[in-house]
Amino acid sequence: MEYRKLGQSDLNVSAICLGTMTYGDQNTEAEGHEQLDYALAQGINFIDTAEMYPVPPKADTVTRTETIIGSWLKKQARDKIILASKVAGGNRKMEWIRGGPQAVDRANVRAAIEGSLKRLQTDYLDLYQIHWPERNVPIFGQYQFDPSKEKEWVSIHNQLETLAELVKEGKVRYIGVSNEQPWGVMEFIRLSNQYNLPRIASIQNSYSLLNRGFEFGMTEIAYREQLSLTAYSPLAFGHLTGKYIDNPKAQGRVNLFPGYAQRYTKPNVTPASAAYAELARKHGLTPTELALGFVYHRWFVTSTIIGATSLPQLTENIGAWQTPLSSEIMQEIEHIHLRYMNPAP
């Protein structure tokens, strides 16, 4: 396994991060522990979760994922694990999380961190992230900024001040953002520099063959500001495994949770997925190996977050690290990309 520095922090994270959003819904506690043990044995030291997991979020399952990780973590050498979690932002209708949550304000953040630490059975998090912006931004399948949706929101300065308290108290080592836009990333960096507040080490955004939006402006920020991308959904909700091309009714998240992931309901998702699956098989690869091999080895991706509902899936996903893509395959990928430009933004 390869290890890389996370932003300007002193965290050396594995190039593959274990995502856990299925624990507590699609995966039992025993299955979650089995995956965690296997990932650790493969050299993965980076684990990502969130207070709202499992996904899709529901009142009767919320926080189960952190609880499952916590019962495993208490048996591990804590200093060998780099553990990341997230505080739910505002603007989403999830009344079962602190009555909203309405804002990324001091009260909500402090309540969230205390809950996460208790469930995870640890005194600190290595990385604490804001799950999505509270302000009006196009996310989760939206792709156009709409000024008519403007609302009041807690300033980024105030968000940073609250996170600074957690860092000072030792509850959080480093901070990050998720599902962010270029303006927000630059504001976090500007304000941290101006007011000597903690600097974001990473941004966790969706990135895959079907969603390469990060390349439009954000890669330059990541390069010049030494900001790490931890890429999620590299298999695009399973679309890039090829299973839905072969069998549209295949068992998986698309059919278990129809309509949940808005970005994958757009018209060019299926033809693009089929084109990438055909390319993979032409070169003797599985569609999964092609999709993960692409994301794993992009110069601006520090760590790729993978998830699975079975150990064989996890084994294949981790094994794809050993499948670098040739220049010929990369060129063919670009041809498909230009034909189906970001069908799942």
Domain presence at residue 210: no
SS (H, E, C) 251-264: CCHHHHCCCCCHHH
What count of residues does the chain have? Answer: 345
CATH code of the domain in which 109 resides: 3.20.20.100
Structural domain containing residue 88: 3-204
Domain presence at residue 343: no
Domain presence at residue 23: yes
**What is the total count of domains within the chain?**
1
Domain presence at residue 236: no
Domain presence at residue 228: no
- Compute how many other C-beta atoms are within 10 angstroms of the C-beta atom of residue 107: 12
To the query of whether residue 207 is one of the catalytic residues in this protein, the response is no
pLDDT tens string, the chain, 345 residues long: the values are: 999 999 999 999 999 999 999 999 999 999 999 999 999 999 999 999 999 999 999 999 999 999 999 999 999 999 999 999 999 987 777 889 988 767 899 999 999 999 999 999 999 999 999 999 999 999 888 899 999 999 999 999 999 999 999 999 999 999 999 999 999 999 999 999 999 999 999 999 999 999 999 999 999 999 999 999 999 999 999 999 999 998 988 888 888 887 777 889 899 999 999 999 999 999 999 999 999 999 999 999 999 999 999 999 999 999 999 988 999 999 999 999 999 999 999
Domain presence at residue 282: no
Domain presence at residue 277: no
The pTM assigned to this predicted structure is 0.97
Exactly one of 53, 128, 232, 244 is catalytic; name it.
Answer: 53
Q: Which of 290, 284, 287, 275 is nearest to 323 (CA)?
A: 290
Q: How far apart are the first and last CA of the chain?
A: 30
Domain presence at residue 258: no
